[in-house]
């Protein structure tokens, strides 16, 4: 997939990147048959069209710092609610037609697995069930395992396929590095 964030949308359930995922049943409200993470992790009720709760789970400072230091910034939008970040595919029921992470908090909520409300998911999400199929094995993981195997105990490889796979992975996961970095408030990146 061209955008890592697309892995966390119900419209892309079982896409070409997902080799194996937990097949929750969309639209089902019975306990144990659906994916409850949308409501459990949502920033607030407006984010999920009042079908999810309001989470007090935050990303740790260490993980946020690692994502920034490791230049894993393309993963921030998919995994973390960065203050000021706008999500055009969440909050489509709101007057603005999108949802923006409010400013003012000194912590960042977890965003991963939050897919939005009923309208955002084309009617798949219901109270207690986002209908999202979380990936347990992704094609990118297989690419990286192939590359690691080709390198073996060394530090490099001339295996053309391994290089192709590594480059494919690197290109997809570096698309939005610069536009995300400028959104992270300075106080979240300070060293203590």
Is residue 157 situated within a structural domain? no
Residue 97 near residue 66 (C-beta atoms within 8 A): no
pLDDT at 10: 93
Is residue 99 situated within a structural domain? yes
Is residue 30 situated within a structural domain? yes
State the Cα–Cα distance between residues 45 and 55, nearest whole angstrom.
Answer: 9
pLDDT at 181: 38
In tens, the pLDDT along 23-32 reads 999 899 998 8
State the Cα–Cα distance between residues 64 and 60, nearest whole angstrom.
Answer: 6
In tens, the pLDDT along 36-78 reads 999 899 999 999 999 887 888 899 988 888 877 877 666 788 8
Indicate the range of 71-80, 105-114, 152-161 predicted with least confidence: 71-80
Residue 139 near residue 17 (C-beta atoms within 8 A): yes
pTM beyond cutoff 0.85: no
Q: Considering the chain, what is the average pLDDT of its residues?
A: 83
Indicate the range of 71-85, 95-109, 165-179 predicted with least confidence: 165-179
pLDDT at 186: 44
Q: In terms of residue numbers, what domain contains 37?
A: 4-136+175-188
Whether 192 has a pLDDT exceeding 70, the answer reads no
Is residue 117 situated within a structural domain? yes
Is residue 158 situated within a structural domain? no
Is residue 27 situated within a structural domain? yes
What percent of the chain has pLDDT above 90? 39
Checking phi first, is residue 61 left (phi over 0); if not, alpha (psi -120 to 50) or beta? alpha
Residue 115 near residue 121 (C-beta atoms within 8 A): yes
Number of domains, the chain: 1
């Amino acid at each position: 997939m061209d955008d890592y964030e697309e892995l966390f949308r119900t419209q892309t359930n079982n896409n070409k990147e997902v080799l194996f995922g937990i097949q929750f049943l969309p639209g089902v409200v019975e306990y144990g048959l659906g994916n409850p993470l949308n409501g459990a992790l949502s920033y607030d009720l407006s984010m999920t069209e009042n079908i999810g709760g309001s989470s007090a789970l935050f990303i740790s400072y260490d993980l946020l710092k690692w994502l920034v230091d490791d230049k894993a910034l393309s993963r921030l939008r998919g995994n973390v609610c960065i203050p000021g970040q706008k999500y055009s595919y969440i909050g489509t029921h709101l007057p603005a037609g999108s949802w923006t992470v409010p400013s003012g908090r000194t912590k960042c909520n977890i965003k991963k697995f939050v897919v939005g409300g009923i309208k955002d998911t084309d009617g798949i999400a219901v109270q207690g069930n986002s209908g999202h199929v979380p990936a347990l094995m992704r094609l990118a993981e297989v690419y990286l395992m192939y590359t690691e195997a080709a390198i073996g105990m060394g530090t490099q490889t001339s295996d053309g396929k391994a290089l192709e796979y590594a480059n494919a992975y690197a290109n997809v996961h570096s698309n939005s590095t610069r536009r995300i970095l400028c959104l992270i408030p300075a106080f979240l990146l300070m060293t203590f």
